[in-house]
């Protein structure tokens, strides 16, 4: 697919419908722009990036239980909160 767009005076573009459909984006969604060493620019739906990041963390078992972490970091403040 090749789409050519024109920059506005404010350096804005309108994404072609094919690109919007491919990225599965809606108005107000966030898009990430990534570049590689060759100068190519990649657009990614930020929702997809977040899902893939979480999926990667789960696969690597890098997630920790937040409550255990909080107890380790602040044992006295958590005990005080739980006493009410």
Q: Is residue 17 scored above 50 in pLDDT?
A: yes
CA 52 to chain centre: 9
53 domain-assigned: yes
pLDDT (mean) for 46-74? 57
More confident site: 44 or 8: 8
Q: What is the CA radius of gyration of the chain?
A: 21
Q: Distance between terminal CA atoms of the chain? A: 61
Q: Is residue 71 scored above 50 in pLDDT?
A: yes
7 domain-assigned: no
Q: Specify the number of domains making up the chain.
A: 1
Please choose, from the candidates 47, 44, 26, 48, the residue with its C-alpha nearest in 3D space to the C-alpha of residue 35. 44
More confident site: 78 or 52: 52
36 domain-assigned: yes
Phi, psi for 67 (deg, rounded to 5): -70, -40
pLDDT of residue 25: 92
50 domain-assigned: yes
User: Domain of 54?
Assistant: 17-82
- Which range, 10-14, 67-71, 80-84, has the best average confidence (pLDDT)? 10-14
58 domain-assigned: yes
């Amino acid at each position: 697919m090749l789409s050519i767009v024109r920059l506005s005076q404010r350096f804005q573009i309108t994404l072609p419908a094919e690109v919007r459909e491919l990225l599965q984006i809606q108005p107000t969604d966030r898009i990430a722009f990534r570049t590689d060493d060759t100068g190519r620019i990649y657009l990614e739906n930020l929702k997809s990036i977040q899902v893939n990041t979480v999926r990667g963390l789960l696969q690597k078992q890098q997630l920790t239980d937040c409550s255990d972490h909080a107890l380790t970091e602040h044992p006295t403040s958590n005990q005080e909160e739980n006493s009410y």
